[in-house]
Every structure is written in structure tokens, then in C-alpha cells.
Structure 1
Amino acid sequence: MTPQVAGDAAATPVTERAWADAWVTVRCGACGHPGQWPRPELDCACGTVLRVPVVAGPPSPAPPPRSTPRPAFQPVTIRDARDAVTVTALYLRWLGYLNTRSAARRPPSGARISARGMLAQVEPAPRPTTLRDIECLWLTAMTDTGDTPLNCAFFSLAGYTDGARQRADSLGVPLFTMDVSGTPQPVNGAADELVAAGA
């Protein structure tokens, strides 16, 4: 990483050294992780040392790579609960979440699928998904992964109660419905954003 020089600031003479002043925190523009880097300095044979001012933020973003558009999702007819889980796994892969597998912890109802960066729940029961179902998925995604919370999404065959939709919106949980045609449909803004951005 190369910190940006702050062009509108002057270099300052270094008269006393302090460990904390010898480093600058710069956030990686690619992953967002803040790292500490040596603060750049210039010195002369006479003993003068100047500290170069740098911008303690992300570097100028690189131009986005050109990406090819995602092909259309290929639906699979849903006849039973197993088909619903299969469609959800295929849809997650289509979004870019690879290596899908059954999650280690099963929910009270339905099934969970995990992939790198994502935890999804599938509810094939003929009852609308409730607020409690949404909260349980969100809490599991926030707490089961250590320091890095997972994204989460919910897939339901029977839709959602009003309370579930409101809670999902407040927590940013993408909601999808499925029918026998086998193509998940986004039902809230978070789901629309997930489909647009992918993994």
C-alpha cells in the first residue's frame, strides 16, 4: 500500500521521536482493513529530519475492473423441501457465493446453507416466515463467525409476515420468495441490492 502525500500540507521538522508518531493508520482501499505503516520521513547528512504529510485514509480508488454481466439464473422446478434447498444453493452460487454447503447449526424449522461470507435460511413450510425467524438468522450470522459477521438472506416459499418484513428491513436482511417455477424473487430493498451487486 502506498499512502497518498497530502499536497496541501507542509513537511514538519522532527525534533523529538515518539513511537506513536512514527506510524500512520491507513485504511486499505480494497478490503477496508486499517493498517499501520511507517510515516515517511526525509533526512539530511546535517541531521535535519522532515516528516512528509500523508493522507490517513483510503488511497484513490483504482478504476473498477470490467466485469461481464451475470448470465440469467437457470430455475429448477420446486416439488418439495429438498428442491427448495437445492434452488437456494444454486441461486447463492449464481450470486457469487461459492462452495455452498449445509450449515453446521440447524434452525428450528427449514434448513440453513452457508458459503464464504453468507448464511442463508430456506423455509419450505406452508406458513409465512415470522419476525422471530428473521431475528434468529440474523443473530446466528452475527455471532457464529467470530470477528467477521456473515451476510445473511432468507428464502421462503410462503412469504413473510408484516413484522418479519419490517424487522428484515431494519436489519438489512435480504428476503426472497420462491414458488414452483424455481426462481427466487426479491421482496425488499436489501434483496434488490444483493441481486444487483452479487457476492
Structure 2
Amino acid sequence: MGAMSESVSVRCPTCRREHVYAAPSYPCACGAPVTPRLDRRTAPAVVTHRAWDEEWVAVRCAACGRRSQWPRPELGCPCGTVLRVAVVPAQPQAAGAGGSPERTPPHPRRAFRPVTIRTARDAVTAVAVYLRWLGYRDVRRADQRPPSGIGLAARGLLALVDPAVRPASVRDVECLWLTAMTDSADCVCFSLAGYTDEARARADTVGVPLFVLDRTGTPRPVNTLADDLDARGADATGG
């Protein structure tokens, strides 16, 4: 799929208003922009409820062949209707074309390209982009829902994304750590509002890297463990 996003005409079935829509691009781990290919023949669907598995779509990078999950394109109409724009499914990669999609990005890594955060969904997307940039594979929703926030998983890693307006608590850190131990995985925590002093102290004790997400979508290390992970990538945890 090309890096440029084509515009399509989208009609809201509620108010019949016409919109011109272009899907957003996301940075692949290889550094190339990836854009879902919109399906012009299929009418948009009205979003009446949220289900995690329906929020994501597989998109293949034309540059390296990597197949990753990204948020489904959506359009908010001024009438209040939210439309899910149809996407052409990613085609299986031909043998020998584009290299292995499972490979981690080469070192030194390209500059990180953040995703602006406006909603909780954006925060999850921003963390997924960052984890892929670090070199983690198969980033997806965690099988087990955390007591608070949103869980993401990758090979050998469990991540907590906390988009709440209050600082993450020591309980948040401990629940993440215990769940990761059960899965024999490493863990990392991302919070929009930072952490309590108790949470930071506990994270240092049990070995949990802590990041704060700013509104540009850039994770900022809070402790030394996070500094190491940001500098070394997945190699810092053996991911």
C-alpha cells in the first residue's frame, strides 16, 4: 500500500451529509508511513457500540512487507454519528517479496514518529506505535483485561496504557507486574497523568519501566529502567 492516502466521498446515513475523507497514516517500525486502503464500494457502517476486536484492521507496509494492526478509519459527522469507513483487506505477502515482516527494525533505529493523543484510543495507538518502534513483534490487545487502563501484549511483553486523568497507583503497577509474572513476560507501564510516589518506588523495586505519555504521543521515561528500554529497544528486555 502506498504512503499517500486517497480521499473518498462518505455520506452519513443519518443526516445525508457528504464528507471527503482521507485515512490517517501511521509509521511502520521500518520508518515508512502506512495508510489503510479505503474501500470505495462499501458503504460506511454506523458505530453504535464499541468492541475491541472491531477497532483494528490489518495493514501491510509496502516498504518492508510488515503486516501490523492499526485503528480502523473512522469519521465523526457533525450530526453526532460516528462512521466506520470500510477498508480493503491486506493481501497475503508473496513468497520472497519485501523481506520477512517478522524482523525487528535495524539499529540504529530511525527517529520515532509519534501519534498525537486526543482520546484514550489515540493513547493506545501511540503506545502500539512506540512498542513496534522499539522492536517488539505482534503487538495486540492483551488477553486479560487489567483492573484499570488498557492492556497491550507483544512477544514476551505486557504493557499497561493508563489514559486516566489521575496518576497511576501502586496497585496499577503491582497488578501489571503480577500478571506479567504469571505469563513469564516482561512488563512496561504508560500513563498520561504520571504516577504516585508509591507507584514509582514500587516500580523500581520490582523492575517495571515507567513512561509518561505527552499529548504529542511521545513516551517520556520516568525511571532508569524506562531510560534503558528507550535507548536499547526490545533488546533491553530480550523481546
Superposition deviation, residue 153 in structure 1: 0.2
Aligned-partner SS, 1:126 = coil
Equivalent-residue separation in structure 2 for 1:130 and 1:164 (angstroms): 5
Are 1:197 and 2:232 an aligned pair?
yes
Q: Which amino acid aligns with 1:162?
A: D
Equivalent-residue separation in structure 2 for 1:111 and 1:100 (angstroms): 13
Are 1:160 and 2:195 an aligned pair?
yes
Structure 1 unaligned runs (5+)? 1-66
Report the counterpart of residue 211 of structure 2 in structure 1. Answer: 176
CA RMSD for the aligned pairs? 0.9
Tell me the TM-score normalised to structure 1 length.
Answer: 0.63
Q: Which amino acid aligns with 1:161?
A: T
Structure 2 unaligned runs (5+)? 1-105, 235-239
Superposition deviation, residue 198 in structure 1: 1.1
Report the counterpart of residue 185 of structure 2 in structure 1. Answer: 150
Are 1:78 and 2:117 an aligned pair?
yes
Equivalent-residue separation in structure 1 for 2:154 and 2:107 (angstroms): 22
Q: Which amino acid aligns with 1:182?
A: G
Report the counterpart of residue 115 of structure 1 in structure 2. Answer: 154
Equivalent-residue separation in structure 2 for 1:136 and 1:122 (angstroms): 13
Aligned-partner SS, 1:198 = helix
Superposition deviation, residue 99 in structure 1: 1.0
Equivalent-residue separation in structure 2 for 1:161 and 1:87 (angstroms): 22
Q: How many residues align?
A: 129
Give the structure with higher Rg (CA): 1
Superposition deviation, residue 68 in structure 1: 2.9
Aligned-partner SS, 1:193 = helix
Percent identical: 64
Runs of 4+ with >3 A deviation: none
